[in-house]
């Protein structure tokens, strides 16, 4: 009796198990199930469909499929098991699933489309967050291209900037992402290269300048000989220091030459650069010119006080010649002579203008000449007047005598 009851219970259990396995939410012995109303409302699936390779087993494998289905029921997920799509993505990513690794068949569930997107994402969803999605792969590829472009561009830009070449951040050797990264990296490298060479050139210039302050012969440091830009900078700094040192020395020697020229005692420096000797000579010549002008000025001023040239006792014919040149060049004294002469000629009172006070001797002399001529003129005019008056008297007397004579006769 017990054996009969066991058989009946077993017969009742087997069909009930099939019904349970066919229920939506879990796979049946064939690896599939019916889509739930909830999933259909979401548009995730429709009708009966398979999971985990369901539908591919042969009748001979039904017993093993049944046992496998029973063991998978504890972990197998359907899209309808998630309340939001973010939960789908979180689960998918946590499992490390992808288009080629999708044991729960969430990719293309209900639509049989394997595109690497589980449960068919909403149209506005950012699918780059989905592990293994085409968009994520594309994004990662772009990021890799950008990184490679930045690295390549930086190296080229660093060299171009250091070599002071033209700034050219373009490249046509890769994708748009690569070119974008290349441009960014190139600009960064170019700036750093430009800064580096500028700093090194400045240091080379300073080192050259320091050497130029000490010596005239250039000796380029070994750390600059293999780089033309740096050796050129070193040379520029050296030449600038030598030029400054030369100008300072030339100025000193020119001043010395000027003093010697003023003293009329030439003492040229020996064993010096030609430019130093020329500087001394220029200074000496300027001193000589000023010395000459001083004697010309003395002669010019003497002309205001002397009626005629008188040779000075300078003991040097060169100075005397300069003095006489100045004396004879004074034409202003002629104006003084003319003014004084006119004043005397007009019979005016002697008044020496203040600006000619130093020329009193000359003024008085020519005033007297003018006065003498004035007085001589006056005498002549008075004589003529007296003579005319006498003739008139004689004529009157003669007339009276003639009349008297006629009356007597």
Question: How far out from the chain centre does Cα 128 lie?
Answer: 46
pLDDT value at position 17?
A: 41
Report the 3 state secondary structure along 79-143.
HHHCCCHHHHHHHHHHHCCECCECCCCCECCCCCCCCCCECCCCCCCCHHHCCCCHHHHHHHHHH
Question: Which string of b and e fits 32-71 if b means at least 16 CB within 10 Å?
Answer: bbbbbeebbebebbeeebbbbebeebeeeeeeebbebbee
Say if residue 84 is in the same domain as residue 182.
no
Say if residue 336 is in the same domain as residue 384.
yes
pLDDT value at position 372?
A: 93
- Cα separation, 397 vs 382, in Å, equals 23
Indicate whether 147 pLDDT > 90: yes
pLDDT category at 81 given cuts 50, 70, 90 is confident
pLDDT value at position 44?
A: 52
78 CB burial (10 A radius; 0-12, 13-18, 19+): buried
pLDDT category at 33 given cuts 50, 70, 90 is low
Q: Is residue 237 part of a domain?
A: no
pLDDT value at position 21?
A: 38
Q: Any residues with CB less than 8 A from the CB of 155 and at least 6 apart, and which?
A: 185, 189
pLDDT value at position 206?
A: 97
pLDDT value at position 316?
A: 93
Which position has the higher pLDDT, 392 or 203?
A: 203
Indicate whether 249 pLDDT > 60: yes
- Please identify, among 271, 300, 321, the residue that sits at the C-terminal boundary of a domain: 321
Say if residue 70 is in the same domain as residue 156.
no
Q: Is residue 238 part of a domain?
A: no
Indicate whether 373 pLDDT > 50: yes
Output phi, psi for 118, to 5 deg.
-75, 140
Say if residue 81 is in the same domain as residue 148.
no
Query: What domain range includes position 336?
Result: 332-394
Say if residue 349 is in the same domain as residue 311.
no
Q: Name residue 48's beta-bridge partners.
A: 34
pLDDT category at 240 given cuts 50, 70, 90 is very high
Work out the average pLDDT over 72-85.
Answer: 74
pLDDT value at position 380?
A: 86
Indicate whether 5 pLDDT > 50: no
- Please identify, among 301, 321, 341, the residue that sits at the C-terminal boundary of a domain: 321
Output phi, psi for 32, to 5 deg.
-140, 180
Kind and range of the H or E element at 18?
A: helix 2-21
Say if residue 8 is in the same domain as residue 119.
yes
Q: Is residue 404 part of a domain?
A: no
Total count of domains within the chain: 4
pLDDT value at position 172?
A: 78
Question: Which string of b and e fits 207-228 if b means at least 16 CB within 10 Å?
Answer: bbbebbeeeeeeebeeebeebe
Indicate whether 25 pLDDT > 50: no
Say if residue 303 is in the same domain as residue 353.
no
């Amino acid at each position: 009796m017990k054996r009969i009851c066991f058989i009946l219970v077993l017969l009742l259990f087997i069909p009930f198990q099939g019904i349970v396995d066919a229920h939506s939410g879990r796979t049946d012995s064939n690896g599939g199930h019916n889509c739930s109303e909830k999933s259909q409302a979401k548009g995730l699936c429709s009708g009966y469909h398979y999971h985990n390779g369901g539908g591919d087993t042969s009748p001979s494998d039904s017993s093993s499929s049944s046992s496998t289905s029973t063991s998978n029921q504890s972990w197998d997920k359907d899209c309808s098991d998630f309340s939001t799509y973010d939960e789908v993505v979180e689960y998918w990513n946590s499992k490390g699933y992808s288009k080629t690794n999708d044991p729960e068949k969430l990719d293309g569930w209900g639509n049989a489309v394997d595109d690497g997107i589980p449960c068919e994402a909403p149209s506005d969803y950012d699918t780059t967050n989905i592990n293994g999605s085409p968009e994520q792969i594309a994004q990662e590829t772009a990021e890799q291209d950008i990184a490679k472009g930045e690295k390549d561009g930086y190296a080229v830009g660093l060299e171009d900037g250091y070599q002071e070449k033209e700034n050219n951040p373009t490249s046509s050797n890769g994708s748009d992402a690569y070119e974008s990264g290349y441009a960014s990296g190139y600009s960064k490298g170019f700036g750093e290269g430009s800064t580096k060479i500028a700093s090194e050139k400045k240091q080379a210039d300073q080192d050259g300048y320091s050497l130029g302050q000490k010596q005239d012969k250039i000796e380029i440091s070994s750390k600059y000989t293999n780089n033309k830009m740096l050796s050129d900078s070193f040379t520029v700094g050296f030449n600038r220091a030598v030029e400054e040192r030369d100008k300072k020395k030339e100025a000193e020697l020119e001043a010395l030459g000027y003093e010697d020229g003023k003293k009329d005692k030439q003492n040229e420096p020996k064993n010096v650069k030609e430019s130093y000797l020329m500087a001394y000579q220029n200074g000496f010549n300027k001193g000589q010119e000023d010395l000459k002008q001083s004697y010309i000025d003395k002669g010019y001023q003497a002309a205001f006080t002397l009626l005629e040239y008188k040779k000075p006792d300078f003991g040097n014919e060169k100075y005397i010649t300069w003095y006489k040149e100045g004396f004879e060049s004074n034409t202003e004294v002629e104006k003084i002579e003319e003014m004084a002469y006119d004043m005397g000629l007009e019979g005016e009172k002697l008044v020496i203008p203040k600006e000619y006070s130093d020329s009193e001797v000359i003024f008085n002399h020519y005033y007297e000449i003018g006065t003498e001529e004035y007085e001589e003129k006056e005498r002549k005019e008075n004589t003529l007047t007296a003579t005319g008056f006498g003739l008139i008297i004689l004529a009157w007397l003669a007339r009276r005598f003639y009349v008297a004579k006629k009356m007597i006769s």
